[in-house]
């Protein structure tokens, strides 16, 4: 029997596979049907879910990774404020821990602010964001959550939540000023995002992105593949499904809130079967990341939340 040259065999196999895939994609495109994913969404958990800024509950991220893997989550989202260091050795140990546990480090949630007339403060927000991008790059994380920041006229976050996230504009300025500052600042971050291959995920996290209109205005004006939308299901306090529908075509990552034991600031009765239907209609294939924001012990609340999200999005 004649021997087959291994390199020739591999080259032929790869060519055949590429040809078959190309033909398949061409057929889908010509039919006009569009490719619809038949798999469920992977479910992640934010390390915030273990902590929730509650006194005495701040866990090491290593422990969060271990517990997330044990419960059955596919990914872990890191809350930057929970990190114990930004040194490379610490970051690489987190990456190693995730690999050994068989989970992805899929996102990092960061905090910054651009809504201020103080140019130095806006530049600090830009500098911080560039630093977060570099941290995510070292961790192998492909997206970071960014905020617009807030006007700062409501000093207490508890008061902001009592006012349903609505905050007065800083005296002497307008909403147009806020949008301009935010858009200009985000644009300054884009070269580093592109260089590192880290998407900036703008979330509906109060401030200028509190509404779908504000969020999408920033997205469309910046007009870059390196700025996309992170959808938070718990940050649209009224008519959530209509607002989720408006954002869905632009979403590349999403946060899913649950409130077992009663919400820290409020509770929403979210229909995740309905939300999953909206996202599937828009062919959303990315991560659904749990942000547990209730008072129940995470040891019981997180597995229950995983079950709800797995049923809806699986």
* pLDDT band at 235; cut points 50, 70, 90: very high
> Is residue 74 in some structural domain?
yes
CATH number for the domain including 66?
A: 3.20.20.150
> Is residue 163 in some structural domain?
yes
How does pLDDT run across 55-68, given as a tens digit for each residue?
889 999 999 999 99
Taking the model in full, what pTM does it have? 0.86
> Is residue 5 in some structural domain?
no
- Domain range spanning residue 196? 39-313
User: What is the model's pLDDT at position 39?
Assistant: 86
Residue 181 has pLDDT above 90, yes or no: yes
How does pLDDT run across 98-127, given as a tens digit for each residue?
999 999 999 999 999 999 999 999 999 999
Nearest one of 76, 32, 4 to 290, comparing CA atoms:
76
Positive or negative, the Cα torsion across 7, 21, 288, 201? positive
> Is residue 12 in some structural domain?
no
User: What is the model's pLDDT at position 206?
Assistant: 83
Provide mean pLDDT across the span 201-205.
95
The count of domains in the chain is: 1
Tell me how far the alpha carbon of residue 276 is from its chain's centroid.
16
> Is residue 22 in some structural domain?
no
Do the Cβ atoms of 98 and 65 come closer than 8 Å?
A: yes
Residue 91 has pLDDT above 60, yes or no: yes
> Is residue 174 in some structural domain?
yes
Helix axes 61-71, 88-101, angle to 10 degrees: 10
> Is residue 51 in some structural domain?
yes
Q: How far is it, in rounded angstroms, from Cα 291 to Cα 258? A: 7
Q: Tell me the β-bridge partners of 104.
A: 75
User: What is the model's pLDDT at position 216?
Assistant: 98
Helices (H), the chain: 6-31, 48-51, 61-71, 88-101, 119-139, 157-162, 175-196, 212-222, 240-247, 272-281, 298-313
Q: How far is it, in rounded angstroms, from Cα 88 to Cα 15? A: 40
How does pLDDT run across 7-49, given as a tens digit for each residue?
343 344 433 333 434 433 333 333 334 566 678 999 999 999 9
> Is residue 279 in some structural domain?
yes
Distance set, CA 34 to CA 24, 228, 283 (Å) = 11, 21, 10
Helices (H), 197-297: 212-222, 240-247, 272-281
Do the Cβ atoms of 60 and 94 come closer than 8 Å?
A: no
Q: How far is it, in rounded angstroms, from Cα 173 to Cα 69? A: 48
């Amino acid at each position: 029997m004649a021997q087959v040259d291994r390199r020739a065999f591999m080259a032929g196999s790869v060519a055949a596979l590429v040809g078959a895939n190309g033909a398949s994609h061409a057929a889908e495109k010509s039919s006009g049907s569009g490719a619809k994913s038949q798999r469920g969404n992977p479910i992640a958990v934010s390390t915030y879910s273990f902590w929730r800024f509650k006194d005495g509950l701040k866990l090491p991220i290593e422990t969060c990774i271990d517990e997330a893997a044990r419960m059955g989550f596919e990914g872990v989202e890191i809350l930057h404020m929970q990190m114990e260091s930004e040194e490379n050795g610490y970051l690489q140990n987190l990456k190693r821990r995730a690999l050994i546990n068989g989970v992805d480090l899929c996102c990092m949630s960061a905090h910054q602010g651009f809504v201020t007339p103080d140019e130095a403060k806006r530049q600090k927000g830009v500098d911080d964001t560039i630093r977060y991008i570099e941290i995510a790059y070292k961790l192998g994380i492909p997206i970071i959550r960014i905020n617009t920041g807030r006007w700062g006229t409501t000093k207490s976050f508890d008061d902001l939540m009592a006012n349903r996230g609505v905050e007065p504009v800083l005296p002497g300025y307008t909403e147009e000023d806020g949008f301009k500052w935010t858009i200009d600042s985000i644009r300054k971050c884009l070269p580093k995002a592109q260089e590192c291959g880290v998407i900036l995920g703008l979330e509906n996290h109060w401030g200028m992105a509190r509404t779908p209109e504000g969020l999408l205005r920033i997205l469309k004006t910046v007009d870059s593949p390196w700025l996309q939308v992170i959808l938070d299901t718990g940050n649209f306090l009224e008519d959530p499904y209509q607002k989720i529908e408006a954002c869905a075509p632009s979403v590349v990552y999403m946060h899913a809130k649950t409130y077992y034991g009663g919400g820290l600031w409020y509770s929403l009765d979210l229909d995740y079967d309905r939300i999953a239907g909206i996202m599937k209609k828009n062919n959303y294939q990315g991560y659904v990341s749990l942000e547990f924001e209730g008072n129940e012990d995470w040891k019981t609340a997180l597995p229950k939340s995983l079950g709800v999200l797995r049923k809806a999005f699986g």
